[in-house]
């Protein structure tokens, strides 16, 4: 009996720890874009409402802030789990690198603290505070959201480009330069790419809710506005996002050639490398499947050299220092998904922009609305895929070229149990979140059936009936 | 440097014990408030009291972790390695608690409220118990340094840890009750003032008894800590006793503001006493602060962050509490409020500053 129990309990923690980390991060990152961009989008509506006496906009702002209270709370608790997990899953990582890796989180904490404070003031202050002070209490939320995510990304970027410290012969940190840690080389582009992603994802997610409403025939001004504000924000952010992504790809090409080889599916160093769409890497180092576009990968990696650009292959480093064939395939597919989704979103944004330019109105066709309804999910998929590229592409390193994931994990063999627990807990959390948001929305719709009191002034352009 | 880092660390621990503790304590009273009908009024006071502030209160824990893992990374690694189970439970409890509370606010059917409320309330007891047990494990020297795990079970199920857990739940409840008395008065809920006052008194007496028993437990189970408490920590122990007694007397005399301050001071003194008693170890008798501390650069970064917190966060935090105390943050409005208030419309008096719409 005893050996049976220890047999069950003695499961290698490393794969489970990785799975748990990846799972909880992917869950948290769903809420992050809303935390970063929703306040900004709400403030646009709030501004319209207050400045131009636009009741629809004001109602939108109020309702959005109430939803925000929920998503922010869920973001906060899932984020707190992450801070436990750093230690619970990766004690040896934190023990060795905490004095450097951990620093950005001090500043992240400041931003989130300020954010939490102003979120409370903004959400709870609608009824009693004066409109303009209330509006201004929302501005720090938007700023701190950006600051907080930049700080977190600084820590993640440090894992890609560890710098700002001195090691002694035994490999322990003896000196730390906090500035060098935070402003590591990978940080500016990654941070920019993530912040813009937050606006892309947040904007499309919110807009797609109203797009669904419009598809179902709720084409009143309220729904239109609820669509236009976030969609415009996202549509502006998409081209920027792609531009930043291109720069980031250039950085990876220069600094993490192994990751780049995985992204482009390049087993052997060569020039005139084809761009392979999908396909897979076999254990013997051959590529099968997929559609190859000759020379394109080389051209994109360095346009000025064209097809002469040499791309370092996976074989340039020993097998133990690069991702496994399966991981390479995952990275490569995720890359294609991210870039593919980005292109689709770009098309959608261009369509919107062009129609707006010529007709001063949004596209009315059903196809557009259907695509817009899917845009939120699509953007979310792009972002998740981007993180998989970044994180799996870094394997087997937790700290690039300095510490392996295997050497960082906890020795606790019960991680598989906590992993299952976390999955169950988060499934319940997700179900409850969706349930609560939906019941709020149902209640708002019921309210719209009644004559609404107009908050500011006697004018009567109240919310039209659905 | 190690002293500065330790001071910052303990400041965050104290802040979390006071603000987070009061938050957990409110959940404790929620749990004790009885069925849906009987418990409605106390629950309303509780909701009002922590609604706008719980998220901010909670961030202290994160600060505490961040200071620990940057300034004393080896200690953080050892603690998380050994105390895997209670920390995992605490993390799960934090999820249930935060989500339960936020959701309860946003739903309307009694049934839903009950379910979410139950998660909120039970985890409000689970989390401080686990964290108190973690503190007990550290204080009684059960967390070994040097990358090896201590006893995965015995490290947190032992007399000192249980004492720590009970104290954490109890002091939270005590603090919360003194805060809630104040909130009930602010909300003009006279019967609730009496309700929470009585509970504050009971919690204070219970904590007094637990502390007395605790002295004997520590003498047997945590010698280093006991030695510290009876020597360099003695003034703080005495302050805690004085603070607690004063809070009791003030509650008796209906001086609620004073009681709140005295209760806060008493709890802060206990936590500080713990810190001073295990000086200069971060993990008693196995890792000193001096040996565990990070390089100067890291500590300086944390000092800078702490400075920024004093300059920017404290005023904002004060603003939040002030707005809350003065009733500017009534509700999210996500409530079954009467129709004319459903839009959370500002009071008529404040429609003035609205440029266009008021001109219409
Ligand atoms: C809306 C989301 C979104 C969209 C449309 C794109 N990305 Fe992205 N991408 C992300 C969201 C994202 C991300 C989730 O935010 C990542 C993960 C890590 C990071 O810094 O950003 C990311 C990572 C990431 C990386 C890896 C960075 C690293 O490993 O450190 C590269 C090279 C690119 N992206 C490049 C692109 C390009 C060339 C795009 C053009 C279509 C693109 N991304 C669209
Ligand atoms: C600041 C942000 C982040 C930090 C500090 C971080 C840190 C980590 C750590 C410590 C690990 C485990 C070690 C390893 O496998 O390398 C990991 C793995 C992973 N993370 Fe991240 N991560 C961050 C953001 C994200 C996000 C947002 C996602 C969302 C999808 C993500 C996806 C993953 C995945 C998929 C793995 C597993 C990789 C594998 O084992 O193959 N990460 N991350
Ligand atoms: C503004 C946007 C974001 C919000 C509102 C948010 C919310 C939170 C919250 C509330 C916490 C708990 C810690 C605390 O309260 O300080 C947290 C922690 C965390 N978040 Fe997020 N998050 C945001 C951005 C991000 C991004 C962009 C990532 C990664 C890609 C990320 C990854 C993490 C990680 C790794 C932690 C644990 C680290 C810690 O304890 O400080 N977060 N987040």
Mind listing the pLDDT tens digit for each residue in B141-188?
A: 777 777 677 777 777 778 888 888 888 888 888 888 888 888 787 777
Residue A101 pLDDT exceeds 60: yes
| Coil vs helix vs strand at A461 | coil
Q: How far apart are CA B359 and CA A456, in angstroms?
A: 10
pLDDT band at residue B355 using 50, 70 and 90 as cut-offs:
very low
Residue A5 pLDDT exceeds 50: yes
Q: How many CB atoms lie within 10 A of CB A47?
A: 16
**What residues does ligand 1 touch, defined as CB less than 6 Å away?**
A 160, 190, 193-194, 197, 200-201, 241-242, 245-246, 248-249, 252, 259, 338-339, 341-342, 345, 379, 382-383, 386-387, 389-390, 393
Residue B268 lies in domain: 2-341
Tokens of B31: 């749990």
Is residue B43 within 8 Å of residue B197, measured between CB atoms?
A: no
Pairing of strands B281-283, B287-288: antiparallel
pLDDT at B341: 35
Is the preceding peptide bond at A383 cis, omega within 30 degrees of 0?
A: no
Please name the residues in contact with B335: beta carbons below 8 A apart, sequence gap of 6 or more.
B108
Quote the radius of gyration of chain B (alpha carbons, Å).
22
The vertex-B56 CA angle with B239 and B20, nearest 5°, equals 35
Is the CB of A194 inside a 6 Å radius of any atom of ligand 2? no
Residue A194 pLDDT exceeds 90: yes
On whether residue B329 sits in a domain, the answer given is yes
pLDDT at A378: 93
Q: How far apart are CA B299 and CA A177, in angstroms?
A: 10
Note the ligand closest to the C-alpha atom of A410. 2
Residue B349 pLDDT exceeds 60: no
According to DSSP, residue A458 is labeled S
On whether residue B51 sits in a domain, the answer given is yes
Which tens digits make up the pLDDT trace of A22-72?
899 999 999 999 888 999 999 998 888 888 878 888 888 888 888 888 888
| Coil vs helix vs strand at B342 | coil
Predicted ipTM > 0.85? no
According to DSSP, residue A322 is labeled S
Give, in order, the Cα–Cα distances in Å from B42 to each of B30, B32, B180, B204, B247: 7, 10, 9, 19, 21
On whether residue B347 sits in a domain, the answer given is no
Q: Which residues pair with A275 in a beta bridge?
A: A293
Burial of A5 (0-12, 13-18, 19+ CB in 10 A): exposed
Give, in order, the Cα–Cα distances in Å from B265 to each of A451, B48, B236, B314: 52, 24, 10, 19
Please name the residues in contact with A364: beta carbons below 8 A apart, sequence gap of 6 or more.
none
Q: How far apart are CA B69 and CA B299, in angstroms?
A: 11
pLDDT at B46: 79
Q: Give the nearest chain A residue to B292 (CA atoms).
A: A95
Q: How far apart are CA A50 and CA B169, in angstroms?
A: 46
Tokens of B328: 């500017």
Note the ligand closest to the C-alpha atom of A248. 1
Which tens digits make up the pLDDT trace of A195-249?
999 999 999 999 999 888 888 877 888 888 889 899 999 999 999 999 999 889 8
Note the ligand closest to the C-alpha atom of B76. 3
Does residue A414 sit at the B interface (CB-CB below 8 Å)? yes
Domain count, chain B: 1
Tokens of A140: 């720090």
Pairing of strands A165-167, A173-176: antiparallel
The vertex-B283 CA angle with B278 and B286, nearest 5°, equals 110
pLDDT at B53: 64
Tokens of A110: 């400041």
On whether residue B346 sits in a domain, the answer given is no
Q: Give the nearest chain B residue to A93 (CA atoms).
A: B77
Which tens digits make up the pLDDT trace of A10-25?
677 777 888 888 899 9
Cβ–Cβ gap A117/B91 under 8 Å: no
Q: Give the nearest chain A residue to B343 (CA atoms).
A: A455
Cβ–Cβ gap B312/A114 under 8 Å: yes
Residue A266 pLDDT exceeds 70: yes
pLDDT band at residue B351 using 50, 70 and 90 as cut-offs:
very low
The alpha carbon of residue B142 is apart from the nearest alpha carbon of chain A, in Å, by: 17
Is residue A207 within 8 Å of residue A396, measured between CB atoms?
A: no
Cβ–Cβ gap B360/A50 under 8 Å: no
CA of A391 from ligand 2 middle (Å) equals 5
Nearest CA-CA partner of A142 in A231, A60, A44, A54: A44
Q: Give the nearest chain A residue to B317 (CA atoms).
A: A117
Question: From atom 29 of ligand 1, which residue's Cα is the shortest distance away?
Answer: A390
| Coil vs helix vs strand at A102 | coil
Q: Give the residue ranges of DSSP H helices in A161-220.
A: 178-182, 187-215
The alpha carbon of residue B152 is apart from the nearest alpha carbon of chain A, in Å, by: 9
pLDDT at B336: 35
Cβ–Cβ gap A178/B297 under 8 Å: yes
């Amino acid at each position: 009996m005893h050996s049976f129990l220890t047999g069950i309990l003695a499961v290698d923690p490393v794969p489970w720890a990785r799975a748990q980390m990846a799972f909880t991060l992917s869950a948290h990152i769903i809420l992050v874009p809303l935390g970063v961009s929703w306040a900004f989008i709400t403030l646009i509506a709030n501004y319209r409402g207050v400045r131009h006496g636009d009741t629809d906009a004001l109602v939108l702002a109020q309702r959005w802030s109430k939803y925000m209270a929920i998503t922010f709370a869920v973001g906060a608790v899932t984020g707190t789990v992450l801070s436990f997990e750093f230690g619970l899953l990766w004690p040896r990582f934190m023990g060795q690198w905490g004095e450097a890796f951990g620093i950005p989180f001090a500043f992240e904490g400041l931003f989130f603290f300020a954010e939490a404070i102003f979120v409370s003031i903004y959400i709870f202050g609608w009824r009693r505070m004066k409109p303009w002070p209330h509006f201004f209490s929302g501005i720090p939320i938007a700023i701190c959201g950006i600051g907080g995510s930049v700080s977190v990304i600084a820590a993640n970027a440090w894992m890609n480009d560890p710098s700002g410290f001195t090691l002694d012969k035994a490999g322990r940190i003896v000196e730390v330069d906090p500035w060098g840690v935070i402003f590591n080389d990978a940080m500016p582009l990654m941070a920019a790419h993530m912040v813009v992603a937050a606006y892309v994802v947040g904007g499309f997610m919110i807009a797609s809710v109203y797009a669904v409403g419009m598809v179902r025939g709720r084409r009143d001004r309220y729904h239109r506005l609820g669509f236009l504000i976030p969609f415009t924000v996202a549509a502006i952010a998409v081209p920027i996002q792609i531009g930043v992504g291109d720069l980031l790809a250039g950085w990876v090409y220069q600094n993490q050639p192994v990751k780049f080889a995985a992204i482009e599916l390049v087993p052997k160093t060569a020039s005139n490398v084809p761009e392979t769409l999908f396909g897979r890497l076999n254990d013997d180092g051959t590529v099968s499947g997929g559609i190859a576009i000759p020379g394109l990968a080389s051209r994109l990696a360095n346009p000025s050299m064209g097809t002469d650009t040499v791309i370092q292959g996976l074989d340039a480093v020993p097998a133990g220092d690069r991702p496994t064939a399966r991981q390479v395939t995952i990275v490569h597919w995720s890359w294609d998904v991210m870039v593919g989704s980005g292109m689709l979103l770009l098309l959608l944004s261009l369509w919107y922009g062009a129609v707006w330019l010529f007709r001063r109105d949004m596209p009315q066709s059903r196809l557009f609305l259907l695509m817009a309804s899917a845009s939120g999910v699509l953007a979310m998929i792009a972002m998740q895929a981007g993180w998989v590229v970044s994180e799996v592409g870094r394997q087997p390193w937790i700290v690039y070229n300095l510490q392996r994931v295997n050497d960082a994990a906890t020795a606790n063999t019960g991680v598989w149990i906590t992993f299952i627990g976390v999955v169950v807990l988060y499934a319940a959390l997700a179900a409850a979140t969706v349930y609560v948001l939906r019941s709020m929305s149902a209640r708002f719709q019921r309210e719209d059936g009644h004559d609404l009191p107009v908050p500011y002034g006697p004018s009567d352009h109240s919310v039209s009936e659905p | 440097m190690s002293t500065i880092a330790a001071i910052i660390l303990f400041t965050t621990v104290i802040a979390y014990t006071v603000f987070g503790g009061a938050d957990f304590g409110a959940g404790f009273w929620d749990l004790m408030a009885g069925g849906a009908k009987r418990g409605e009024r106390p629950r309303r006071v509780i909701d009002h009291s922590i609604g706008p502030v719980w998220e901010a209160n909670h961030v202290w824990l994160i600060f505490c972790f961040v200071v620990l893992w940057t300034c004393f990374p080896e200690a953080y690694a050892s603690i998380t390695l050994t105390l895997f189970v209670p920390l995992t439970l605490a993390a799960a409890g934090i999820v249930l608690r935060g989500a339960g509370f936020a959701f309860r606010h946003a739903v309307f059917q009694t049934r839903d409220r009950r379910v979410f409320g139950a998660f909120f309330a039970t985890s409000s007891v689970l989390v401080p118990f686990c964290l108190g047990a973690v503190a007990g494990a550290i204080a009684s020297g059960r967390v070994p340094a040097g990358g090896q795990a201590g006893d995965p079970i015995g490290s947190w199920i032992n007399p000192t840890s249980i004492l720590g857990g009970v104290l954490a739940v109890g002091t939270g409840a005590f603090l919360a009750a003194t805060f809630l008395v104040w909130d009930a008065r602010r909300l003009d809920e006279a019967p609730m003032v009496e309700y929470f006052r009585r509970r504050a008194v009971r919690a204070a007496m219970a904590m007094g008894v637990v502390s007395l028993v605790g002295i004997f437990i520590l003498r047997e189970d945590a010698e280093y800590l006991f030695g510290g408490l009876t020597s360099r920590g003695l003034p703080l122990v005495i302050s805690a006793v004085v603070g607690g007694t004063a809070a009791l007397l003030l509650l008796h005399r209906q001086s609620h503001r004073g009681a709140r301050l005295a209760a806060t001071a008493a709890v802060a003194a206990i936590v500080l006493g713990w810190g001073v008693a295990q000086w200069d170890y971060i993990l008693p008798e196995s890792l000193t602060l001096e040996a565990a501390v990070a390089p100067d650069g890291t500590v300086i970064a944390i000092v800078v962050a702490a400075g920024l917190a004093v300059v920017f966060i404290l005023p904002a935090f004060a603003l939040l509490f002030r707005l809350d105390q003065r009733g500017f943050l009534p509700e999210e409005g996500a409530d079954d409020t009467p129709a004319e208030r459903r839009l959370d419309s500002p009071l008529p008096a404040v429609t003035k500053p609205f440029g266009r719409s008021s001109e219409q």
